[in-house]
Amino acid sequence: MRRLLVSVDMEGVAGVASTVSLMPSGWEYTAYRRWMTAELNAVSEAAFAAGYDEVIAADGHGNAQNIDPDLLVDNVQLIRSFPRPLLQMQMIDDPSVDACAFVGYHAGAGTADGLLAHSYSGAALRSIRLNGELASEGYFNAALAGSFGKPVLFVSGDEYTIEDARRYAPGAKFVTTKTSFGFKSQMALPPAQTCGALREAAEAAFSQPSAVSFKVEPPFVVDLEMTSHGAPEMLAYLPWVERLDGWSIRATFDSMADAMRFISFVIMYQPNGQTPF
């Protein structure tokens, strides 16, 4: 069985612009999740047309319960809710998964004018570096996929997302779903038209893949710049975490999977066992 992992976020979906509606309390959230589901369907249909038997879709936004299961096309296995150890890349370590695609992605924290740009958690992290390189979610996720020999075949998002993706998936197919005018302003074609472009480009990406897996050499050094002084202070209580300054910590791992588990712990852990979403 050929399986494709599709990691899906919301900020890079065509039409999405407001921080208010990124969560269920937002007035336009219902539309946002419908557009997100439609973009996943378009890419999934392309995967099936290219010969994949099944798509595994990892909902990677907010509380990870955004994609509407009732609207999904057949043969899409949906991963929902947090916490999970590999976050947006859950199941990338499964031998039946051949490759992955990133849909609705956004630029990393600190990207000037990148629409809704952040890295995993804007509330917790100002920046992430992997072996000294500034790492967006796409960069870090691609490095994790590459550690299992899985290439990123397709990426969609705003123009800053695509610019970043050329670093970690130069052989992939890209679709720019929107033009960003700043952190909260964008221009995009109607969702249905965008989905047509996604389907066409994704089918080409999956039918004749030219991308190779993204390799970062171990050891994997993760530098996190936090949004508070308290977080790095307490994380440095862990004997294998080094505090670099008032804002930042460093941890070193033998595997990218362990590095991702650490990111998941940093942004998810609460003493009462409840996730922050």
Peptide bond preceding 239 in cis form (omega within 30 of 0) = no
Number of domains in the chain: 1
Q: What local confidence, expressed as pLDDT, does residue 98 receive?
A: 97
Residue 145 in any domain: the answer is yes
Give the CATH number, domain containing residue 36.
3.40.50.10780
Residue 276 in any domain: the answer is no
What's phi and psi for 112, nearest 5 deg? -65, 125
Residue 170 in any domain: the answer is yes
**CB neighbourhood size of 229 (10 A):** 11
pLDDT digits (tens, 9 = 90+) for 43-102: 999 999 999 999 999 999 999 999 999 999 999 999 999 999 999 999 999 999 999 999
Q: What local confidence, expressed as pLDDT, does residue 275 receive?
A: 76
Average pLDDT, the chain: 97
Residue 198 in any domain: the answer is yes
pLDDT digits (tens, 9 = 90+) for 105-132: 999 999 999 999 999 999 999 999 999 9
Residue 200 in any domain: the answer is yes
**CB neighbourhood size of 277 (10 A):** 15
> What is d(CA 92, CA 76) in angstroms, rounded to the nearest whole number?
15
Q: What local confidence, expressed as pLDDT, does residue 82 receive?
A: 95
Residue 130 in any domain: the answer is no
Residue 55 in any domain: the answer is yes
Q: What local confidence, expressed as pLDDT, does residue 217 receive?
A: 97
Q: What local confidence, expressed as pLDDT, does residue 237 receive?
A: 98
Q: Are 113 and 181 in contact (CB under 8 A)?
A: yes
Q: What local confidence, expressed as pLDDT, does residue 209 receive?
A: 82
Q: Are 37 and 59 in contact (CB under 8 A)?
A: no
Q: Are 122 and 109 in contact (CB under 8 A)?
A: yes
Q: Are 108 and 143 in contact (CB under 8 A)?
A: no
3 state SS of 268: helix
277 has pLDDT over 90: no
Q: What local confidence, expressed as pLDDT, does residue 36 receive?
A: 98
Q: Are 7 and 152 in contact (CB under 8 A)?
A: no
Burial class of residue 112 in the structure, from the number of CB atoms within 10 Å of its CB (0-12 exposed, 13-18 middle, 19+ buried):
exposed
> What is d(CA 262, CA 252) in angstroms, rounded to the nearest whole number?
10
pLDDT digits (tens, 9 = 90+) for 142-158: 999 999 999 999 999 99
Q: What local confidence, expressed as pLDDT, does residue 208 receive?
A: 86
Range 178-197 average pLDDT:
97
> What is d(CA 271, CA 159) in angstroms, rounded to the nearest whole number?
39
Contacts of 274 (CB under 8 A, 6+ apart): none
Give percent above pLDDT 90 in the chain.
95
> What is the extent of the structural domain holding 10?
3-120+136-207
Sheet holding 185-187, edge to edge: 76-79, 54-59, 3-8, 97-105, 152-158, 173-182, 185-187
Residue 274 in any domain: the answer is no
